[in-house]
Amino acid sequence: MQDDLQTRWWNLEAKLVERFNKKPDLETLLFLIGIQEFGQIKEKFTKEQKQDLMHVAVCSLFAQSGYYEMMGKDNEGWPHFRQLKPLPELNAKEQEDFLKDHILLYFQTNALTD
């Protein structure tokens, strides 16, 4: 299972390098997913908005597995979520793999790569 995750992750990274000419790290991917879910592109986001975008990304990713659900958007268009069940207790490596697996599912589900 671990090898499959790593292979799928490397394949996603290769596609993203093709598209952006640069390998994005996890934080960058969360930021991009957050923008995708927020649905608004601004020339500049504040530091707080960048953190909010990454939070939106994490909630959106884990909503795929039933951990969160979107309750709606506020008057500025920001999605709001509620937690439905606790996240599993994982060590740092397991947390990273859990997040990567959800990112891979997100890209596959949303057809964001070829």
Q: What is the pLDDT of residues 15-46, one digit of tens each?
A: 999 988 999 899 999 999 999 999 988 889 99
- Whether 56 and 38 have beta carbons less than 8 Å apart is answered as yes
CB atoms within 10 A of CB 79: 19
Tell me the C-alpha to C-alpha distance, in Å, between residue 106 and each of 35, 47, 75: 14, 24, 26
Evaluate whether residue 65 is within a structural domain. Answer: yes
State the pTM of this model.
0.88
How many domains is the chain partitioned into structurally? 1
pLDDT at 2 over 90: no
Evaluate whether residue 114 is within a structural domain. Answer: no
CB atoms within 10 A of CB 107: 17
Q: What is the domain extent for residue 55?
A: 2-109
Rounded Cα gap, residues 54 and 28, in angstroms: 9
Rounded Cα gap, residues 76 and 11, in angstroms: 36
Q: What is the pLDDT of residues 86-102, one digit of tens each?
A: 999 999 999 999 999 99
